[in-house]
């Protein structure tokens, strides 16, 4: 990890996701250049959700920066499910496109699962297709969801081994919590999945030397729960009543106890896009004869 990617507080080393994402992106750009390939990313946005528009713009910009072919399809909010599926089919058949990303959320009249299931698993750079989820469980080559992959990259770049560590994930979403189970287990952690119904969350979190908070509740994980010297990765991005962005972890108090911690914003967020670029390059390499 480069020096600029870490800053020490009184206690915890802050994992600077922005700097680490820039390192990953530079690696992807260099590997792309060396491969002689032109990986292609298609991003699909339906409707005019302003947050989604920002995410999509950032993904397209990043693809441009690493030298990918990229195309963005922006469809009106009243697009039918059949029209969206037709577009997916065209992108599946388009040889320039190695990766297809359908930005979520989709408008309510569109069946999210029917759309995501239509993306060819080998072009599913979000790792949302059930085929990729199953392959991940069986530890077979697949495309790993970008946010969990980014969490693992942050943990790797602490330079500390994960073997035998007690990892606690808080939150059981398909996109983050569930794939985190597989990735942490594959790194030889002992994994606990905690969620909104977990009894005595404080004690469960207190056992962990690795905490991944992805529950979407502002500052649910209290600093006082954190075990001394733990690695704390905060996937949450929540708007506090004051308007400030906060994570799922009480940052300042947790930083007093943790050895490593991610800030919000500027922690996991930027890693998601960097890992999308990595997945698109991986998909392009795998499509070679």
Query: Is position 49 annotated as part of the catalytic site?
Result: no
Pick from 32, 209, 262, 272 the residue near ligand GUN by CB under 6 A.
272
Q: Are 170 and 221 in contact (CB under 8 A)?
A: yes
Q: Are 248 and 221 in contact (CB under 8 A)?
A: yes
- Contact positions with ligand GUN (CB under 6 A) in 77-136: 101-104, 126
Binding mask 194-233 for ligand GUN (x = CB under 6 A): ----------------------------------------
Does 62 participate in binding ligand GUN (rule CB under 6 A)?
no
Torsion of CA 269, 274, 279, 285, to 10 degrees: 180
Q: Are 280 and 98 in contact (CB under 8 A)?
A: yes
Q: Of 52 and 198, which CB lies nearer to ligand GUN in the complex structure?
A: 52
Does 146 participate in binding ligand GUN (rule CB under 6 A)?
yes
Give the residue from 216, 166, 218, 219 showing the smallest Cα distance to 193. Answer: 166
Q: Of 14 and 276, which CB lies nearer to ligand GUN in the complex structure?
A: 276
Query: Is position 59 annotated as part of the catalytic site?
Result: yes
Does 153 participate in binding ligand GUN (rule CB under 6 A)?
no
What is d(CA 153, CA 136) in angstroms, rounded to the nearest whole number?
Answer: 16
Query: Is position 103 annotated as part of the catalytic site?
Result: yes
Locate all alpha helices (DSSP H) within 167-261, ordered by sequence. Answer: 177-186, 201-206, 251-255
Q: In the beta sheet, which residues pair with residue 261?
A: 14, 232
Return the active site residues.
59, 103, 126
Binding footprint of ligand GUN on the chain (CB under 6 A):
101-104, 126, 146-147, 272
């Amino acid at each position: 990890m480069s020096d600029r990617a870490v800053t020490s507080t009184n206690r915890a080393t802050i994992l600077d996701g922005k700097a680490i994402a820039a390192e990953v992106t530079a690696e992807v750009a260099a590997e792309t250049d060396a491969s002689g390939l032109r990986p292609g990313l298609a991003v699909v946005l339906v409707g005019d959700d302003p947050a989604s528009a920002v995410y999509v713009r950032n993904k397209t910009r990043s693809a441009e920066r690493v030298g990918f072919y990229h195309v963005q399809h922006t469809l009106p909010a009243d697009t039918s499910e059949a029209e969206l599926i037709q577009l997916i089919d065209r992108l599946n058949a388009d040889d320039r496109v190695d990766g297809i990303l359908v930005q979520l959320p989709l408008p309510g009249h569109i069946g999210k699962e029917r759309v995501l299931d239509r993306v060819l698993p080998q072009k599913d750079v979000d790792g949302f297709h059930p085929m990729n989820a199953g392959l991940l469980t069986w530890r077979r080559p697949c495309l790993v969801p970008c946010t969990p992959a980014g969490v693992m990259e942050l943990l790797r770049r602490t330079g500390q081994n994960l073997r035998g560590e007690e990892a606690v994930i808080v939150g059981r979403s398909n996109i983050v919590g569930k794939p985190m189970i597989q990735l942490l287990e594959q790194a030889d952690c002992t994994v606990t999945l905690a969620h909104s119904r977990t009894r005595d969350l404080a004690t469960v979190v207190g056992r962990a030397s690795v905490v991944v908070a992805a529950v979407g509740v502002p500052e649910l994980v209290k600093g006082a729960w954190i075990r001394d010297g733990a690695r704390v990765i905060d996937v949450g991005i929540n708007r506090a009543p004051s308007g400030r962005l906060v994570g799922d972890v009480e940052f300042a108090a947790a930083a007093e106890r943790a050895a490593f911690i991610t800030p919000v914003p500027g922690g996991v967020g930027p890693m998601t896009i960097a890992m999308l670029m990595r997945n698109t390059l991986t998909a392009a390499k795998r499509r070679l004869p």
